[in-house]
Amino acid sequence: MTSAAPAVSGPLIGGDRLTSTSAAVYEHIFPATGRPNATVALAGAPEIDRAVASAWAAQREWAALTVDRRRDLLIGLADVVGAHLDELAELNVHDYGVPISYAGTAMLLERFLRHFAGYVDKLHGSSTPVNGSFDVNLVEREPYGVVGVIAPWNGALAVAGSCVAPALAAGNAVVFKPSELAPLASLRFGELCLEAGLPAGLVNVVPAGPEGGDALVRHPGIRKIHFTGGGVTARSVIQAAATNLTPVVAELGGKSASLVFPDADLATAAMLTAHQGPLMQSGQSCACASRILVHESVYEEFAGLFLAAVGAATIGDPFRADVTFGPVVSAGALERIRSVIDDAVRVRAGVLLTGGQRIGGELESGYYLEPTVFGDVDNSTNLAQTETFGPVVSLIRFRDDDEAVRIANDTQYGLNAFVLTRDLRRAHTVARSLEAGSIWINTFSDISPQGPYGGYKQSGFGRTGGAEGLQEFLQVKNIRIAMS
């Protein structure tokens, strides 16, 4: 199986690639083989300090450029990324074993860059009349200066697009922290920023674990944190950000529901929910629909079609173009997910219909787990309530529309929901009743630069994408001029 990734890497700060740092050296493991394939020098507090200083110097340079020049540089960066899509996709595979057939986040990065480049020369403030005087009152929008962007291992290039691109478009410099588990594509993105002619230090890439992440969040030179990851880490980040009252945006996990109504095209619904459930990134996506709610009148028929769609996945080397199902990210993740399955079997959370075992044979050294489906799951169980972040899904029966919405909303999360129906009125009514930031009707989670994305409830706050995503990186200044 292919596993030739870059041998050594480390933080990219102010245009310099460091190969030794104050923090630990991380041995990166290729999840498809379980073997080391890169060594990564992680950033500690001194490197974070240096990155923040270099970002401030670059931000002043960036802010001094004309808007036309900044727009053109971001369009140029999109062009450079576009010319390296294959390389970025391959690094993504090395990073976390995602099948190359799914490694579309490099394309998403390019699209986000083009989208937000288009805002650079259109950003504007406003003026408002001030009651009782003839004064002039201007409302201006300014960059924060230097922002910290923290990414999860499962989508760093998507985060580079949805967070770094608008941060730059708004006039900020960025300290971008990918996870130590998956730093390779992000580091290459940092190099491409330099190749595209962005000022050195405008985008610093600092792979780090919790220690470096904490140093970034607590740094007094960081004016805003954009965090994507899990709820447990988010609580630590918010507490650390309280040190300097640094504002935080949080894009967190989910336990999203797919609602399959009796009038849906069941074959299409089965194909979409299999992709959106256990198959896409082996269920390691924030958007994964891990609870599949099916009307009782079509439950048996749907379950048969769904199991057939799951069973049709091609499991194997993620570098093979025909492979649609790869490993989970690490040995630790494999054990954690297996314990969720074992616990669900033990407490009879539902009926195990397929999967549950580690895959052996020629894949035995990789972290491969069978796509796993439980039927007739009770929504109050741990299996249905906790984000598993692996290829494990629950089928749940419902009797009518009200019950479907009630079960879908009966979770602490609120990231996505999927509605499968041919009835337009039902689709609208149900969509309005669902407590989730994104509702997808008869489609999968096709995240776009134009549509705001983010969570309700414990799936987070703030948005990426569109005008809403840009505003996260701008602060408002009011200027009043006395005219009398």
Q: Point out the residues that are catalytic.
A: 251, 286
Query: Are 379 and 318 in contact, with CB atoms under 8 Å apart?
Result: no
185 binds ligand NAD (CB under 6 A): no
| Binder among 233, 244, 386, 442 for ligand NAD (CB under 6 A) | 233
Among 96, 116, 153, 299, binds ligand NAD (CB under 6 A): 153
- Contacts with ligand NAD in 87-106 (CB under 6 A)? none
Q: How far apart are CA 220 and CA 250, in angstroms?
A: 19
Least distance CB 459 / ligand NAD (angstroms): 6
Residues 413-452 touching ligand NAD, rule: CB under 6 A, are 415
Q: Which amino acid is at 346?
A: R
- Say whether residue 143 binds ligand NAD (CB under 6 A): no
Q: Which residue's CB is nearer to ligand NAD, number 374 or number 389? A: 389
Residue 286 CB, shortest distance to ligand NAD, in Å, is: 3
Binding to ligand NAD, residues 188-227 (CB under 6 A): 209-210, 213-214, 217
Stretch that binds ligand NAD, among 2-10, 118-126, 252-260, 356-364 (CB under 6 A): 252-260
Query: Rounded to whole angstroms, how far apart are CA atoms 275 and 292?
Result: 12
Site string for ligand NAD, 458-477 (x = CB under 6 A): --x-----------------
DSSP string covering 154-183: T-HHHHIIIIIHHHHHTT-EEEEE-BTTS-
Q: Please say whether the beta carbons of 162 and 151 come within 8 A.
A: no
Please give the structure tokens belonging to residue 78. 């999109």
Of 77 and 208, which CB lies nearer to ligand NAD in the complex structure?
208
Tokens for 446?
């096709």
124 touches 138 (CB < 8 A): no
Note whether 150 binds ligand NAD by CB under 6 A.
yes
Q: In what order do the strands lie in the sheet containing 136-143?
A: 126-127, 136-143, 474-481
Q: What is the C-alpha to C-alpha distance for residues 398 and 400, in angstroms, rounded to an integer?
A: 6
* Collapsed DSSP state (helix, strand, coil) of residue 479: strand
The residue nearest ligand NAD at its CB is: 213
Site for ligand NAD in 1-60 (CB under 6 A): none
Q: From residue 417, give the alpha-carbon distance in Å to each of 128, 158, 230, 424.
A: 39, 20, 18, 16
C-alpha closest to that of 156 among 315, 371, 329:
329
The reply to whether 152 sits near ligand NAD by the rule CB under 6 A is yes
How, if at all, do strands 12-13 and 16-17 pair? antiparallel
Q: Measured from the CB atom, is 233 or 354 closer to ligand NAD? A: 233
Least distance (Å) from ligand NAD to the CB of residue 374?
Answer: 20
Comparison of 151 and 202: residue with beta carbon closer to ligand NAD: 151
Shorter beta-carbon distance to ligand NAD: residue 254 or 355? 254
Q: What's the Cα-to-Cα distance from 190 to each of 49, 183, 199, 316, rounded to whole Å?
A: 18, 11, 11, 30
Which region among 119-127, 250-258, 313-321, 467-475 touches ligand NAD (by CB under 6 A)?
Answer: 250-258
Number of residues that bind ligand NAD (CB under 6 A): 28
Nearer residue to ligand NAD within complex by CB, 161 or 350: 161
- Picking from 371, 369, 353, the residue whose alpha carbon sits closest to that of residue 302 is 353
The answer to the question of residue 252 lying near ligand NAD (CB under 6 A) is yes
- The residue (of 163 and 266) whose beta carbon lies closer to ligand NAD is 163
Q: What residues line the site for ligand NAD (CB under 6 A)?
A: 150-155, 177, 179, 209-210, 213-214, 217, 228-230, 233, 236-237, 251-254, 286, 387, 389, 415, 460
